Amino acid sequence: MAASEVRITNFRKAAVLGAGVMGAQIAAHLANAGVQVLLLDLADKKSYPNAAVDKALGRMLKMKPSPIVHSGVRHLITTGNFDDDLEKLKEADWIIEAVIEKLDVKQQLMGKVEKVASPKAVISTNTSGLPVHQIASKCSAGFRKRFLGTHFFNPPRYLKLLELIPTPETSDAVIEKVERFGRIQLGKGIVLAKDTPNFIANRVGTYAMMLSIKALEDDYTIEEIDALTGPLTGRPKSATFRTADVVGLDTLSYVSQNLWEAVTNDPDRDVFKIPSVLENLVGKGHTGSKTGKGFYVKEKGEIKSLNPETMEYEPRKRLNLGDLDQIKKNNSLRKRWKLLFEEDSRAGSFIRQQTTRSIAYAMNRIPEISDIPLDIDRAIEWGFGWKMGPFAICDAIGAEAFIGQAEKMEIKTPEWFNEMLKSGASSFYKLEDDGSFSHYVPGKGYETAHTHADEISVASLKTSDGRNEIWNNKEAALLDSGDGILIYEFRSKANTLGFNVINGILEAIKITERGDYRGMVIANDGDNFSVGANLGELAYTAEKGDFDKIEQAVANFQKAALAIRYAEKPVVVATQGKVLGGGCELAMGAAGVVAATETYMGLVELGAGLIPAGSGTMTLAARAGEAAANQHASQIQPFLQKAFETVAMAKVAISGQEAVDMGYLSPERTIIAMNADRRIYMARELVLRLSNFGYMAPPPRTNIFVAGSPGLAVLKNAAWQMQQAGWISAYDAFLAGKLAYVLCGGDLSGPSRVHEDYLIELEREVFLSLLGEEKTKARIHSILTTNKPLRN
């Protein structure tokens, strides 16, 4: 297989062997990427042959959060069993083994696979702990060239890491093909790992987790440990013990025990010994979320935590960590780490003890598990959801502070690290004068970090001297990214859409149209594209009674949304994370949208006691009219009903793909980026393509078909039924009626044709009237003060 062939081919058909928790989810994620998947498991001897695998697939489809990106994915997965369907493996381009972690079982299965697999198929194992090279050791040399480890992390859809573990015999072409497909089509961050026990992420991550659990023996409570190993230090909200419960305490025990047995030459191997509290929980069958009891339990609506001394569940305990409020308020994670490391309190003591040991452990695993600190950091960040890996944390607290604490604790650091410091290097990472990013490699010094040309951020497009920022205000900026493409970036808190951001869009489009530019991309580097309108700004202005300013702001928002749609040059929106309310409306009008798979989009204004009024309601009405076969109310009603229910119930799409299914995004103008890091590159390419094809903006909607009063009556009745069923409150029903009023064209007596401006004015009129409602004010206040919607 030539390298050139590898670069231009994708996997079209795959087979996953083993339908357990991981196997079924790997199959689902392959299907998310559009791959046809055959999912096999043992034949069921009691029922029909595929009963076991069908049940496993059914369980997977009910998981929350969902492993699949939309309902159509299910139809790409076919089930079968090892007795009857192994022959079908000959059609697969990629065969992934994910059966029980027993070497002899895996070896026997590989022998059967070799007999039927295509000689061009790639074969891999998802083992998390067994030596990869041994699994295919009894197969032919030709088979071993196509064999490697592909270690996905649970849940495969959401955790970015994919560790590739080639054997000495794995061909470079196979590694390249899996790496490319994994990165582009599956959206993975790829790390090449050595064939050592539990590879990189689980080796270092499990060490850190077991250290934290064992801190219970030092009189720290579960709540205190979770407070210090969660978002405060750039780690998931589930922190240590909730993560353990979700992973499964039996699974954690298995991984830790396996490591303890396998790493006989590791001086720190005793950290992997299962502590008595964990052993007792597993012995009682309290294995975490799947049994309802673990380190935490929910009883009568109250979350209780385990008292490790009595093994009883008790109400959550108050923290005794000192005053951490000022540290929490610091938005810089690097600064928070430094402040915590220096903190003179029980919190500081915990951080110093745990962090010093974890950093030293990672250092001392080089070159055993990897030659490159950056790869260890990436594995931990992508596989465990940490925002900073151990070497990045060392940079944050400072090498001098780390060394001082390590000496106090009599912890040895490796010779390569000591040589690094002697050479004058004091950090693992640094930003060069030309804007490039360098990382330290033991024995080699600093090297420019390898980056993919199609993985770019807004920050990476900024010149070091800032000269390509051609316009800005307090909350937004316009960058010249080269190739005649401008980038409009939000810089507001949570990327909310306030007066400055919206006025900036209007200005940016003017600059794009007047200048020698091809088009514009609206994008940002935030976790969320936009959480919607700036409700705080809106509430403050309303409280002052300046409704003229609010009316002008709403009119400007509508104007900006329409300006995106009717711009003379293509405006493409690149989305990721939450795309709510006004953020959704901006995307709905774009010439093109590049939506990351993890785009969570919705018009959720009813939760704030309002309706979509940034052209969103008008757009949904127009699309319903376009879908109708003719000018009869019965023809438009099904499409209108779908749009109405979607907005009235504030439904949020769980993926970019589902945003298309739900009608938020146009299927003709939307491209899905499985790898979110590629979305801005893809958006720029889309602008160029549209420009090269001779882009013309669509004409104004002058003839929108609306249902009038017959359709309004049907939608109001639907709202009444939802209220009677207890799905919505009386005020929700009132708001739904207002939404229906605009969707159906207001006071029209029957189906009619109207101009988009007519619906735009209705949107604005209803929105402004709702701002005066006391219950709407209460909903906005609730969101601003508790970050939760109020059902009043």
Average the pLDDT over 528-548 and give the result: 89
Determine the distance from the C-alpha atom of residue 218 to the mean position of all C-alpha atoms in its chain, rounded to a whole number.
35
Going by their DSSP bridges, the two strands 122-125 and 147-152 should be labelled as parallel
Average the pLDDT over 140-154 and give the result: 97
Q: Which helix (H) or strand (E) holds 5?
A: helix 3-8
pLDDT digits (tens, 9 = 90+) for 311-366: 999 998 899 998 899 999 998 999 999 999 999 999 999 999 999 999 999 999 99
Average the pLDDT over 227-246 and give the result: 95
- Three-class SS of 125-192: ECCCCCCHHHHCCCCCHHHHHCEEEEEECCCCCCCCEEEEEECCCCCHHHHHHHHHHHHHCCCCEEEE
Confidence of residue 2 (pLDDT cuts 50, 70, 90): very low
Give the pLDDT confidence score for residue 633 in this predicted structure: 76
Confidence of residue 453 (pLDDT cuts 50, 70, 90): very high
Residue in the structure block whose two tokens are 């293509």: 570
CB 271 within 8 A of CB 214: yes
CB 571 within 8 A of CB 522: yes
Model confidence at 1: pLDDT above 90: no
Model confidence at 631: pLDDT above 80: no
Q: Which helix (H) or strand (E) holds 279?
A: helix 276-283
Look up residue 572 and give its amino acid: V
Look up residue 142 and give its amino acid: G
Give the other-Cβ count within 10 Å of 154's Cβ. 18
Model confidence at 435: pLDDT above 80: no
Model confidence at 607: pLDDT above 60: yes
Burial class (CB in 10 A: 0-12, 13-18, 19+), 82: middle
Q: Measuring CA to CA, which residue among 437, 459, 462 is closest to residue 450? A: 437
Dihedral angle computed from the Cα positions of residues 351, 354, 357 and 359, in that order, rounded to the nearest 10 degrees = -60
B/e letters for 677-692, b = 16+ CB within 10 Å, e = fewer, are bbbbbbbbbbbbebbe
CB 615 within 8 A of CB 583: no
Give the pLDDT confidence score for residue 787 in this predicted structure: 86
Give the pLDDT confidence score for residue 630 in this predicted structure: 80
Residue in the structure block whose two tokens are 């903190």: 343
Question: Hey, which residues does 161 pair with through a beta bridge?
Answer: 189
Model confidence at 8: pLDDT above 70: no
pLDDT digits (tens, 9 = 90+) for 254-312: 999 999 999 999 999 999 999 999 999 999 999 998 899 999 999 988 999 999 999 99
Give the other-Cβ count within 10 Å of 187's Cβ. 23
Residue in the structure block whose two tokens are 């003379």: 568
pLDDT digits (tens, 9 = 90+) for 173-221: 999 999 999 999 999 999 999 999 999 999 999 999 999 999 999 999 9
Going by their DSSP bridges, the two strands 704-706 and 429-431 should be labelled as unpaired
Give the pLDDT confidence score for residue 433 in this predicted structure: 75
Give the pLDDT confidence score for residue 538 in this predicted structure: 87
Model confidence at 634: pLDDT above 90: no
Burial class (CB in 10 A: 0-12, 13-18, 19+), 651: middle
Give the pLDDT confidence score for residue 114 in this predicted structure: 97
Rounded CA separation 789/779 (Å): 6
Q: Which helix (H) or strand (E) holds 575?
A: strand 571-580
Give the pLDDT confidence score for residue 536 in this predicted structure: 87
pLDDT digits (tens, 9 = 90+) for 715-738: 999 999 999 999 899 999 999 999
CB 73 within 8 A of CB 33: no
Give the pLDDT confidence score for residue 5 in this predicted structure: 38
What percentage of the chain exceeds 70 in pLDDT?
Answer: 99
Confidence of residue 478 (pLDDT cuts 50, 70, 90): very high
CB 557 within 8 A of CB 544: no
Q: Which two tokens stand for residue 774?
A: 């006391």
B/e letters for 537-562, b = 16+ CB within 10 Å, e = fewer, are bbbebbeeeeeeebeebbebbbbbbb
Give the pLDDT confidence score for residue 300 in this predicted structure: 87
The beta-strand segments (E) located in 474-547 are 476-480, 485-490, 519-522
Peptide bond before residue 442 is cis, with ω within 30 degrees of 0: no
pLDDT digits (tens, 9 = 90+) for 380-393: 999 999 999 999 99
Rounded CA separation 310/328 (Å): 32
CB 56 within 8 A of CB 18: no
pLDDT digits (tens, 9 = 90+) for 121-135: 999 999 988 999 999
Average pLDDT of the chain is 94
Question: Hey, which residues does 13 pair with through a beta bridge?
Answer: 36
Average the pLDDT over 395-401 and give the result: 96
Rounded CA separation 134/588 (Å): 52
Rounded CA separation 666/60 (Å): 29
| Angle at the Cα of 512 from the Cα atoms of 507 and 516, rounded to 5 degrees | 145
Rounded CA separation 754/637 (Å): 17
State pTM to two decimals: 0.94
| Angle at the Cα of 296 from the Cα atoms of 294 and 302, rounded to 5 degrees | 140
What percentage of the chain exceeds 90 in pLDDT?
Answer: 89
Q: Where are the alpha helices (DSSP H) in 398-485?
A: 399-408, 415-422
